[in-house]
Structure 1
């Protein structure tokens, strides 16, 4: 079966939804948005606390990848949850809305990515955002109030989040009520991608027209064709020109052709995997798997970066915290009923309700550590069940120096790729994580939290004065893992190892772009969902308007 569209977008994650929705709204083109997973019409997706059921294991909404054994983590395999289905990882994440620092984007521009400085990308953050603090207005210089992506304060903040904020202030850290404001540093509540107590994923923002139960999935747009349950096997080339994709749905092969562009939005793992499976990537690696080389592009799959994270836990009896106990189960049942009535209460929690951006050393110019305070004992991505109640605090290094790669384990796109993040391959990352552990333990020791008592889980043996770095290092190697921010494997740039240029066109071929977090040259200092959506927004303008601008320039020069 063959079908022809103007644009074929592979992957309905955060960037793919934003791009496809904007393309459908701004013209009369036909757009095929192809997604291997299902629709997002499910109570676990709509309910913020439902992420706890989707995150820990593979299923209809989670690929649940594993890394290769990591020498820096004592040979352990890391866990890499990735969203599957409409909305991608925005359907299973903690909904935290942060953008990073302006300097992150200015560094992209300085490295040759023209058009990606902070001043260039801020309008796209604002265009995407409908922040409840400025809803209905676009007068705020940093926030948008009319965009499709709802951003709000938590409806029912957990009291322990406030205890954490107070304790951090007692430890000497400043209060910050807006991590996306003029300054990022400090401690405070996170804003989340929710609306009226429900998760507002990228599909809800850009595909459903605000109606989560719109079964057509295209928001009533005649030109937008959302094709779920369709696994793309490879990009189809004629010479070096991408003309479509070959996909399988319900056992039948489909050739979907693109009159204009094939656009990969399959994510940091999926996009490089599909490029390599289609013959674009490091030639020697492709030949190892018997793949005919279309274009030798050595940077594909390289430059993998991720936020490695260590969690400190505190066990204590407090029913307002998430946990497993008879009393806790009864309390949670009542909270479920409350959520059905009011869309409020514990079920509207994103778990990581409060947090901080801090400096590991006072002489640093900007924060290099991020904290996520979780109102439960989330251990090993909630794959390890622990009875009782408690709280925990994550700490990660915002700009890691360690680099890894994504490679093929098989040419079959139905098989997971080979993921090697190279965690702690640069020893400086471990030094910074040790500093982060000490900061969290100092916060835990402040009266606002210490008064509740409790016992630390993996860190109880550490010395209170922080003088046992060797023990802290071993705890990190034994327990650290991702905080779910992999980027960089289709790096944007102009050098020989760059995969896409600043217009997101794959170098060395035609008719092919990548639009997702894999194009980031370097990690931003924060959560990556908002930047991925920004990339989709900016890609729309590059695709829709850049050809017109170039034409006008050419006409002016000829005149």
Structure 2
């Protein structure tokens, strides 16, 4: 593990306003030690001196087994999305949305990793890639064909090391994994561990049967070859199979930096402003605050790379004078670059479940029962197997079929026609939970993966300690409302299939039999929807002059030299499904751009 202290930096002390100011000097400064930030820092350490400024610390210390043990990933208390969530400022930024007008007026807590590894230290470890059509749409939007799936495959492969499933540990004959071995290339030496969970939840296998009854056949290739819609699969995960522990950007990239002596990490340190030379509009330094309140300036001899996530990156840009001019002036901030797209174009995926009691065992049931929990713990520690080794479930994707689609309004159908033919509208997650009586619940969770509603991030104050104003915009477009209603009906159809009748033991628990009409289903979705933490697009990549464009195809901020943004905020679109594979890919691609002088 690298020393997290920045001991090799050249430094000096100066005075400003009668206070001592720490001055440090690096070639590249990476703001944010998250998923993309640590990829950038690791790769650039091979050619220059790099500093990482990270507001959090080590998740192994601050969050312990919740972040290390896969089976505990969904049990982390502060991941609750209600306004009254149990706060953990060591690990989470504590972002709260404004009341969501079309989601029952709820204020949503939106967890984001404040730790080395960022949200790769908090997610449920699902790893898969988008569709070929979705990357083609990205390439067309930014007018750069290097973003097609075939051209990006190298960067997906460069970031990963794939291990085939351990069928002996999985020990579930009806959950045999099929995958495309050509989707990975271990000879490239990627540090991120990709594998399959060493445990299969019995209830989840029945939920897979339910989803397959809808006509969503099991994929013969898995979900890493650019094909999603119309299929189901056991998803690959960012799990180190040797010990069944989380593989994050910290355990992979940071711990295996190309030249560790070139890389310093400043943990528990807040970047407060990017300092831009007004004469040439070039980023020169980063202002930061140490845990003891000490203010510092970090000089960037080459570039500043912002990687603070879909809320943090636009927030820091605006605090630094880069964003919509009117909003900046309102808060007394000097305008460096008038970029109206900063904070706009927020895409977010939401989820909502259908649950019913079943007579099959589930991992959660085994963990919560004291009589079986001891054996589950022993199996994990001795054999890296059992329910604690897996957060996993079976997932499937589809466009809503014609029998339901024919009821969509003209407005909804027109909006959905924008998406390529292979881009699914809904992801279904077949999994399990346990009720308060310890009874297993089969769960079909629906996710909107072609959302049409848009939100935004705006300034609330010029003080960096004041969180930005976040409006997710959930369900504000009729297309999302109509797809959500159809998705609930599809989940109900799956759980009512004769193929799973032998395991379903009671009436629907959630949302329940009282919810029947479209109006009642929509009301349920509006009160139950939660984020899956896939927000993107608030510093969107695009062509100069596009309404939402903030960065070019190399992540360079328009109007400001020597400044890039590299994280999910630069996605111009929300790719279908789970985005972490594409975050790693993007960071690898832009790191190569820098090495190649772009």
Instruction: State whether TM-score is above 0.5.
Output: yes
- Distance across 1 between alignment mates of 2:393 and 2:336: 47
- Deviations along 1:285-336, one digit per CA (max 9) or x if unpaired, are 11222222222111100000000221222245655341599x6243234322
Q: Given the alignment, which residue of 189, 195, 211 partners 2:240?
A: 195
Secondary structure of the corresponding residue to residue 314 of structure 2: helix
Counterpart of 1:268 in structure 2 is: 310
**Pairing 1:234-249 to 2, within 5 Å after superposition:** 234-239=273-278, 240-249=281-290
CA distance in 2: counterparts of 1:408 and 1:521, whole angstroms? 21
The match for 1:460 among 512, 521, 535 is: 512
8 A Cα contact 2:207 2:443, kept in partner: no
Distance in 1, matches of 2:93 and 2:357, equals 30
2:401 to 349, 354, 361: 361
User: Which of 192, 200, 224 is equivalent to 1:180?
Assistant: 224
87, 96, 116: which one aligns with 1:58:
87
Query: Structure 1 stretch 84-93 or stretch 164-173: which is displaced more?
Result: 164-173
Q: CA deviation at 1:390?
A: 2.1
- Matches of 2:355 and 2:116 in 1, distance apart? 33
Structure 1 residue 462, shift from structure 2 partner: 5.2
| In 1, Cα distance between equivalents of 2:530 and 2:67 | 24
Distance 1:205 1:427 in 2: 42
Superposed counterparts of 1:141-152, under 5 Å: 141-145=182-186, 146-152=189-195
User: 1:314 and 1:151, CA in 2 relative to 1: closer, same or farther beyond 3 A?
Assistant: same
Aligned residue among 253, 267, 288 for 1:228: 267
Q: Matches of residues 197-216 of structure 1 in structure 2 within 5 Å?
A: 197-209=244-256
The aligned runs of 1:93-112 (5 Å cut-off) are: 93-112=123-142
Q: Which residue of 2 aligns with 1:472?
A: 521
CA distances 1:478-504 after superposition (whole Å, capped 9, x unpaired): 211211100000000013431001111
What corresponds to 2:408 in structure 1?
Answer: none
| Alignment counterpart, residue 563 of structure 2, candidates 506, 509, 512 | 512
Point out 4+ residue stretches in structure 1 off by more than 4 angstroms. Answer: 316-319, 385-388
TM-score (norm 1): 0.89
Q: Could you tell me how far apart the structure 2 residues matched to 1:262 and 1:223 are?
A: 16
Whole-angstrom CA distance in 1 between matches of 2:39 and 2:295: 27
Corresponding residue number in structure 1 for 2:573: 522
Gap runs ≥5 in structure 1: 210-217, 379-384, 548-559
The aligned residue for residue 334 of structure 2 is: 292
Work out whether residues 427 and 448 of structure 2, in 8 Å CA contact, stay in contact via their aligned partners in 1.
Answer: yes
Kept after mapping to 2: 8 A contact 1:313/1:377: no
SS, match of residue 546 in structure 1 = coil
Aligned residues of 2:161 and 2:191 also touching (Cα < 8 A): yes
Kept in 2: contact 1:319–1:331 (CA 8 A): no
- State the partner residue of 2:531: 482
Query: CA offset at residue 224 of structure 1?
Result: 0.7
8 A Cα contact 1:488 1:522, kept in partner? yes
TM-score normalised to structure 2 length:
0.83
Name the counterpart of 1:118.
Answer: 149
Aligned-partner Cα distance in 1 for 2:119–2:494? 31
What corresponds to 2:17 in structure 1? none
Is the CA contact (8 Å cut-off) linking 1:64 and 1:81 kept in structure 2?
Answer: yes
- Quick one: which of 125, 143, 159 aligns to 1:128? 159
CA distance in 2, matches of 1:156, 1:521: 36
Deviation at 1:528, TM superposition (A): 0.9
Of 33, 41, 54, the match for 2:52: 33
Q: Which runs of 5+ in 2 are unaligned?
A: 1-21, 81-85, 167-179, 406-416
Task: Give how far 1:188 is off.
Answer: 2.1
Q: Equivalent residues in 2 for 1:374-453 (5 A)?
A: 374-376=431-433, 388-452=439-503, 453=505
1:113, distance to aligned residue in structure 2 (A): 4.0
Map of 1:531 onto structure 2: 582
Decide which of 93, 115, 133 is 1:85's aligned counterpart: 115
Separation of aligned partners in 2, 1:69 and 1:226 = 37
User: SS at the partner of 1:70?
Assistant: coil
Would the aligned equivalents of 1:409 and 1:418 in 2 still touch at CA under 8 Å?
Answer: yes
1:4 maps to: 25
2:317 alignment partner, SS class: helix
1:324 to 1:142, Cα distance in 2 relative to 1, 3 A? closer
Q: Deviation at 1:84?
A: 1.3
The 2-side partners of 1:123 and 1:298 are apart by 33
Shift of 1:420: 0.5
Shift of 1:112: 2.6
8 Å contact kept, 1:125–1:144: no
